[in-house]
């Protein structure tokens, strides 16, 4: 079976009925919302690479609720360890019966890592300004190692992305990015992020992305901006370990059962 690597914003299918995990639908077409491996069976799915993100106190992350108990929400934060949000770290008083109404399984939120202990228990919080449940917009994923390139030196890249696309953007340290704005603008921003991931090794990247965004207003194809013969490359810090390959293979194999 072919293991095709796909990136956020890549067209996967012309038929919205094929949309599966790790995808989103725009104007009847299916696009990848993740950086991962394409898997086509009954649906078009994207299996994300297990990231190398290791949570650290004070990191900002985007998490997705995977479980709820009587006093905690548990979040996937693209780490080997699940993040825990105790009800006391929600911005207001919460009764157990209200928890799934406020944050249900599958919901995403912008959070901060409050603490990580020696046993890698990851405590999260929503009790800071700007932290919130994500209700609108789009969440895409990139390799965590590419986050510094999205932010840029002194925030130069992310500031330019906001200004030129007129979109809100939040970059989590775990490689999840929330964007919000008109659909056309989000498409433009998704293409720019896709280009940054592809061209992260290029000198003068901020100027190159600025040129792309200003030309993009004339509907220039993102692929025309990629260096000749270039595509996604795994730099040394992005090499996929054998155990990740095994996980991907197992997921793909299980989908055939």
pLDDT digits (tens, 9 = 90+) for 21-75: 778 889 999 998 777 778 887 888 887 665 568 888 999 999 999 999 999 999 9
Q: Which pLDDT value is given to residue 256?
A: 45
At 155-201, the pLDDT tens digits run 999 999 999 999 999 999 999 999 999 999 999 999 999 999 888 77
| pLDDT tens digit sequence for 109-153 | 999 999 998 778 899 999 999 999 999 999 999 988 889 889 988
Return the residue matching tokens 């780490």: 79
Look over the chain and give the mean of its residue pLDDT values, rounded to a whole number. Answer: 82
Q: Which residue has the higher pLDDT, 35 or 82?
A: 82
The domains located in the chain, with CATH, are 5-49+240-254 (2.40.50.100), 60-134 (2.40.50.140), 138-225 (3.30.1370.10)
Token pair recorded at residue 123: 């405590």
Could you list the beta-strand ranges (E) of 35-193: 36-40, 44-48, 60-68, 72-76, 83-86, 108-116, 122-125, 132-134, 138-141, 168-171, 176-180
């Amino acid at each position: 079976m072919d293991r095709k690597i796909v990136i956020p914003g890549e067209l996967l299918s012309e038929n919205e009925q094929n949309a599966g995990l790790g995808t989103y639908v725009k104007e009847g077409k299916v696009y990848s919302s993740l950086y991962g491996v394409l898997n086509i069976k009954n649906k078009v799915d994207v299996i994300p690479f297990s990231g190398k993100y290791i949570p650290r106190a004070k990191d900002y992350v985007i998490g997705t609720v995977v479980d709820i108990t009587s006093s905690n929400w548990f979040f996937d934060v693209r780490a080997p360890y699940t993040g825990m949000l105790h009800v006391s770290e929600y911005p207001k008083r919460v009764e157990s019966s209200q928890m799934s109404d406020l944050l249900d399984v599958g919901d995403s939120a912008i959070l901060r890592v409050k603490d990580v202990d020696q046993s890698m228990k990851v405590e999260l919080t929503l009790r800071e300004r700007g932290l919130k449940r994500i209700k609108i917009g789009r969440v895409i994923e990139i390799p965590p190692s590419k986050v510094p390139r999205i932010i840029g030196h002194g925030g130069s890249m992310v500031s330019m992305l906001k200004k030129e696309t007129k979109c809100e953007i939040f970059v989590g340290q775990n490689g999840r990015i929330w964007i919000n704005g008109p659909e056309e603008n989000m498409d433009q921003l998704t293409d720019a992020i896709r280009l940054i991931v592809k061209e992260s090794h290029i000198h003068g990247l901020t100027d190159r992305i600025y040129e792309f965004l200003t030309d993009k207003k004339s509907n220039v194809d993102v692929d025309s901006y990629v260096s000749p013969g270039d595509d996604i490359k795994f730099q040394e810090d992005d090499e996929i370990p054998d155990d990740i390959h095994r996980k991907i293979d197992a997921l793909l194999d299980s989908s055939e059962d």
